[in-house]
Amino acid sequence: MSQEGIKHEMPEQDPIERINNFDEVALGYDEETAIKEAKRCLQCSNPKCKAGCPVEVDIPGFIQLVAEGKFEEAAKKVKEKNNLPAICGRVCPQEDQCEAECVVGIKDEPVAIGRLERFVADYTSDNEEAKEIQQDQGKVAVVGAGPSGLTAAADLAKMGYQVTIFEAFHKPGGVLTYGIPEFRLPKEVVKREVAKIKELGVEIKLNQVIGKIKGVDELFEEGYDAVFVGTGAGLPKFLGLEGENLNGVYSANEFLTRVNLMKAYKFPEYKTPVYVGDKVAVVGGGNVAMDAARTALRLGAEESIIVYRRGRKEMPAREEEIHHAQQEGVQFELLNNPTKILGDEDGFVTGMECIRMELGEPDDSGRRRPIPIEGSEFRIDVDTVIMAIGQSPNPILINDTSKLETTDWGTIITDEETGETTKAGVFAGGDVVTGAATVIEAMGAGKKAARSIAEYIDNR
Amino acid sequence: MYRILDKEVIAVKIVKLKVEAPEVAAKAKPGHFLIVRVNEKAERIPLTIADYNQQEGTVTIIVQEVGFSSRQICNLEVGEGFLDLVGPLGEPIKTEGYNKVVCIGGGLGNAPLYPKAKSLKEDGTEVVSILGAQTADKLILEEEFDEISDELYMATDDGSKGHEGFVTEVLEDLLKQEDDFELAIAIGPMIMMKVVSELTAKYSLETIVSLNSLMVDGTGMCGGCRVTVGEETKFACVDGPAFDGHLVDFDEQLRRQQFYTDQEEEVKQCQHVGGEHQCHKKE
């Protein structure tokens, strides 16, 4: 393949080096590489990439500006639609979205839209003027400072609404802060993007669990015209196995929250501990599983093993994340499912019993169903087990709010187009509606909801 | 910052702090807890709300110095405060509809027990309290319980106050004599709650215990506070912290409490060698 046919490489930290630190793995394009990559864009008259973007970024528009070296203007173009570009450029599954639709990708590798987005977002990080926006259109409460909440808040603020975000944790960002590790998304980047949203006039109230300190109805009583619920999927799933409550079994949520939000990787300077033994098993095959497995290595585990019940092809994690994990030495025990966690008399994990699987006919998810092979049980010796098998919506707000209807899976029922829930004036989006999904999908939902909220308030 | 308005040392290494948190005070109920963080590098520490005052806009917490983080909290002075405070968390306990209840507190457990006993009394319940501690100078909230209890018993390990021995011995005597208790509430060390629950099971007396499990967020997100109740796994932060003492797997909880023993030791050691930064340096 000719050199023109492939994406320009993004420099990365050496795998041998990077498993000893939490610094960012991917280092970003320089100006020259960004221009070269931008010039690979064909500037299609009917750009498919744009249709593949949940937040509708004018992709050819901004890439053209990069190609011309007009980075500031390119950043402005991205930010017309995307309130968190430095984050999206890093963690969006571009290969399934914009880049999947890229016409260049039919013959060669698609244009590296994500890398270019990251480049322009980082380029303009410091030199930007905030403009005053009159906020007299109405008051909106946003519950949850994650991707969907931040996006809805920013869009509403831009439209002239006065927005307050209520966040349960002591830091904003939601999964961007507690879930995604520093080496994939530096918290400085999250801080920077959140600061920009605050500059739009959005107020963020931390340490506020809505449903406990006050209910949704009380928010209306306090004068909010509408409420957006973006409380995410903050309820970890477990398999219900024997031994799952042994010391050394974590949910990925807990493990990652200790490390990312509470900086347990800097223990004992930071006082929150985290336990990582010599041999860690991470159960699951998504991005969260990759994050946990790679984090475990950085915390000093000698071996970190992904245990996944289907095959490599069926893994829901991004290709790039699987690749990075492999480079770093994460092992993969595919077509395996845990059946029991074993422990010693003090209650600490000593091993995990697994059973081999084979793939049968496709199930509802379209992926081939894993079937246990009878009598194939075997044991692996591990001292830490991390369950990364998904999350359900956090029920605190939902249980406290009347007339808010949910599905059997505990997700809030909404109108797909507007984000309207079954309760008047309440809108919802992100993982609390879809179940655990991607950052960009949550942002797309926040964007749609912001539009509907504006319409709802104006029509009252 | 959530400011400390009042501080009182109420026993050896035990302090009572009144903290400014009007929104939390407005919603607090017996059984609720909160999570505090002293500064940027601190842990998130769950603490039961020992008392609250809506008019003043304050919540009261009682903290015993056991490890690094609790010492850090105990060392806070009036005018200083917590960087973060989130609450009220957990499910409040029901205190209406009982005629006669026995409340058993051990050590620091007297603190979370107090708002429940007080609320029961306010609802017209006859309250019999048994308070225990290792020694008389570690026994807390005696006066407060005296005010709201119809009968008050005490027990210390060394006999320096009340019965010499365990609260369970006092409880057993009571249960032998009186059979009209409708509920027992026991809060204290895990082992005490276990023994109380075993005892009351013999008398078929409904028993509520309150678990101080390890937790991070307090909203059900981390699942660190898992507890087996009956056949089910529950999260202490959202399903509890109060549970039916006859159904809790106390042995599992006792083991889970030991999870970070080594790390706690490391943090303590760290302070001796002169500051938190030195000891973190890698060679």
pLDDT tens string, chain A, 460 residues long: the values are 345 688 999 999 999 999 999 999 999 999 999 999 999 999 998 899 998 888 889 999 999 999 999 999 999 999 988 988 999 999 888 888 999 999 999 999 999 999 999 999 998 755 555 667 788 889 999 999 999 999 999 999 999 999 999 999 999 999 999 999 999 999 999 999 999 999 999 999 999 999 999 999 999 999 999 999 999 998 999 999 999 999 999 999 999 999 999 999 999 999 999 999 999 999 999 999 999 999 999 999 999 999 999 999 889 999 989 999 999 999 999 999 999 999 999 999 999 999 999 999 888 878 888 999 999 999 999 999 999 999 999 999 999 999 999 999 999 999 989 999 999 999 999 999 998 888 889 999 999 999 999 999 999 8
pLDDT band at B96 (very low <50, low <70, confident <90, very high): confident
Query: For residue B8, what are its two tokens?
Result: 């009182």
Angle at which helices A31-38 and A113-123 cross, to 10°:
140
Report pLDDT for A362.
Answer: 87
In whole angstroms, what is the distance from residue A250 CA to residue A259 CA?
Answer: 12
Report chain B residues whose CB lies below 8 A from the CB of A209: 86-87, 89, 218-219
Q: CA nearest B27 in A: which residue?
A: A213
Among the partner-chain residues A169, A206, A268, the one whose CB lies closest to the CB of B267 is A268
pLDDT band at B203 (very low <50, low <70, confident <90, very high): very high
Chain-chain contact of B233 with A244 (C-beta, under 8 angstroms): yes
CA distance A357 to chain B (A): 27
Among the partner-chain residues B27, B68, B276, the one whose CB lies closest to the CB of A213 is B27
Q: CA nearest B238 in A: which residue?
A: A396
Report chain B residues whose CB lies below 8 A from the CB of A214: 23, 27
The 3-state DSSP class for residue B51 equals strand
For A408, residues 6+ apart whose C-beta sits below 8 A from its C-beta are none
CA distance B71 to chain A (A): 13
Residue B191: its H or E element: helix B190-202
Chain-chain contact of B267 with A271 (C-beta, under 8 angstroms): yes
Query: For residue B264, what are its two tokens?
Result: 């706690």
Q: Is the pTM of this model over 0.90?
A: yes
Among the partner-chain residues B41, B69, B89, the one whose CB lies closest to the CB of A269 is B41
On whether the CB atoms of residues A142 and A204 are closer than 8 A, the answer is no
- Phi/psi of residue A302, nearest 5 degrees: -75, -35
List residues of chain A with CB under 8 Å from any CB of chain B: 168-170, 206-209, 212-214, 234-236, 238, 240, 244-248, 250-251, 253-254, 257-258, 262-263, 266-273, 275, 346-347, 394-396
Report pLDDT for A126.
Answer: 57
Report chain B residues whose CB lies below 8 A from the CB of A392: none
Amino acid letter at A372?
P
In whole angstroms, what is the distance from residue A121 CA to residue A82 CA?
Answer: 10
Chain-chain contact of A206 with B84 (C-beta, under 8 angstroms): yes
Residue with the two structure tokens 């749609």:
A448
Chain-chain contact of A213 with B270 (C-beta, under 8 angstroms): no
Report pLDDT for B66.
Answer: 86
Buried b (16+ CB within 10 A) or exposed e, B207-217: bbbbbbbbbbb
Report pLDDT for B276.
Answer: 39
CA distance B54 to chain A (A): 13
CA A199 to chain centre: 23
Least reliable range by pLDDT among A158-167, A274-283, B103-112, B255-264: B255-264
On whether the CB atoms of residues A170 and A207 are closer than 8 A, the answer is yes
Query: For residue A121, what are its two tokens?
Result: 């977002």
Q: Which residue has the higher pLDDT, B132 or A133?
A: B132
pLDDT band at B270 (very low <50, low <70, confident <90, very high): low
Query: How many A×B Cβ pairs under 8 Å?
Result: 125
Chain-chain contact of A254 with B42 (C-beta, under 8 angstroms): no
Report pLDDT for B280.
Answer: 39
Chain-chain contact of B259 with A275 (C-beta, under 8 angstroms): yes
- Arithmetic mean of pLDDT over chain B: 91
Distances (CA, A) of A7 to B24, B152, B230: 53, 78, 57
Q: CA nearest B265 in A: which residue?
A: A268
Q: CA nearest B259 in A: which residue?
A: A247
Report pLDDT for B273.
Answer: 41
- Phi/psi of residue A432, nearest 5 degrees: -70, -15
